């Protein structure tokens, strides 16, 4: 029996890779996928070219805040994997209203329609940024939420809204919280693709503050693996951290990117630190490993080299995006 999955934000970086993986040769083979995407600046239809001709694929351009559209789509599907979100912290600092609308109101629109339509499983894809900042150790899923940016606050709010429908209505909601993702098809406003594309063009790269902020890096292959484990084997009402196991300071990351692109520190410009910049993120992935068998497989140096090469080979994908966004 074919499971009909609605994937929101499926034209974005992570969502499109999830869709390509589901419908690819190593996918489960028993699913049909509908992507709902507003196709804002970060939603690129070209990300779905690999599956566009697949008989089990459909793309609907639309807004997750459109209750009528969402209601109709929910009635036609069995499960939901919800990626759609405004996600760039810098943009949220300049103006948080769109983040509240999409991440909070949009999630409520989806989860309420899922409840009313009797959706079997609702996977809500969130972020480790909802935990705030941690000086040492790693966050388990039971740690309190302490978001520090308008973006992470909107995601924390959406987590709570989604989980409330499990506790109030019994809807099967499963939440994932991932660390920083990297890989191909990543919109070039985020640090790794921004630095790579700037360096490939001989431009300088902006390093915030002293470069000491630490992040855990997760390849999209591993993230998609974790999400699929949660969709197929996870438990209702549970939260699962998904990490990559590679912690680097931004300065260490910058050195690796300089080396990979044949540049030196003359290409780096230290800039004023981001407001409220979280110092360190680190998620404890014991739960998803023990319960669902998750383990990151992609070696970071291999994954980073592959990512740099992808951007070398796909200027036709990223150059128009940078020009349009004036990055």
Alpha carbon distance 106, 231 (integer Å): 21
CATH class belonging to 3-181+218-242: alpha beta
pTM to 2 decimal places: 0.96
Q: Which residue has the tokens 């931004």?
A: 250
- Per-residue model confidence as pLDDT tens digits over 283-304: 999 999 999 999 999 999 999 9
pLDDT higher than 90, residue 326: no
Contact assessment for residue 213 and residue 249, using Cβ atoms and an 8 Å cutoff: yes
Q: Active-site residues: which are they?
A: 128-129, 151
pLDDT higher than 90, residue 34: yes
Alpha-carbon torsion angle 72, 77, 80, 82, nearest 10: -40
pLDDT at residue 323 in the model: 80
CATH class belonging to 187-215+246-276+299-325: alpha beta
Name beta bridge partners: 215: 248
pLDDT at residue 38 in the model: 95
pLDDT at residue 242 in the model: 98
Domain coordinates in residue numbering, the chain = 3-181+218-242, 187-215+246-276+299-325
pLDDT at residue 327 in the model: 64
- Per-residue model confidence as pLDDT tens digits over 89-146: 778 877 789 899 999 999 999 999 999 999 999 999 999 999 999 999 999 999 999 9
């Amino acid at each position: 029996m074919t499971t009909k999955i609605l994937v929101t934000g499926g034209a974005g970086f992570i969502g499109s890779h999830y869709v390509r993986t589901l419908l690819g040769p190593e996918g489960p083979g028993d699913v049909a996928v509908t992507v709902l995407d507003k196709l804002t600046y970060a939603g690129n239809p070209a990300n779905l070219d690999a599956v566009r001709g697949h008989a089990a694929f459909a793309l609907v351009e639309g807004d997750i805040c459109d209750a009528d559209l969402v209601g109709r789509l929910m009635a036609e599907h069995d499960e939901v994997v919800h990626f759609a979100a405004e996600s760039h912290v810098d943009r949220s600092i300049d103006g948080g209203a769109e983040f509240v609308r999409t991440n909070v109101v949009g999630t409520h629109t989806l989860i309420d329609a899922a409840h009313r339509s009797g959706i079997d499983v609702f996977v809500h894809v969130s972020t480790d940024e909802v935990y705030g900042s941690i000086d040492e150790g790693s966050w388990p899923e039971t740690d309190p939420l302490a978001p520090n940016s308008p973006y992470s606050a909107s995601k924390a709010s959406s987590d709570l809204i989604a989980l409330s429908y499990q506790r109030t209505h019994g809807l099967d909601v499963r939440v994932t919280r991932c660390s920083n993702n990297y890989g191909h098809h990543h919109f070039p406003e985020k640090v790794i693709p921004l630095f790579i594309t700037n360096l490939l063009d001989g431009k300088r790269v902006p390093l915030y503050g002293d470069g000491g902020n630490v992040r855990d890096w997760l390849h999209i292959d591993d993230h998609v693996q974790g999400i699929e484990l949660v969709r197929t084997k996870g438990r209702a009402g549970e939260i699962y951290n998904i990490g990559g196991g590679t912690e680097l300071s931004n300065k260490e990351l910058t050195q690796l990117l300089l080396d990979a692109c044949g540049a030196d520190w003359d290409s780096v410009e230290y800039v004023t630190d981001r407001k409220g910049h979280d110092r360190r993120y680190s998620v404890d992935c014991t739960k998803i490993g023990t319960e669902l068998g998750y383990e990151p497989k992609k070696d970071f140096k291999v994954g980073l080299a592959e990512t740099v090469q992808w951007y070398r080979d796909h200027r036709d994908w990223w150059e128009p995006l940078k020009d349009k966004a004036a990055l």
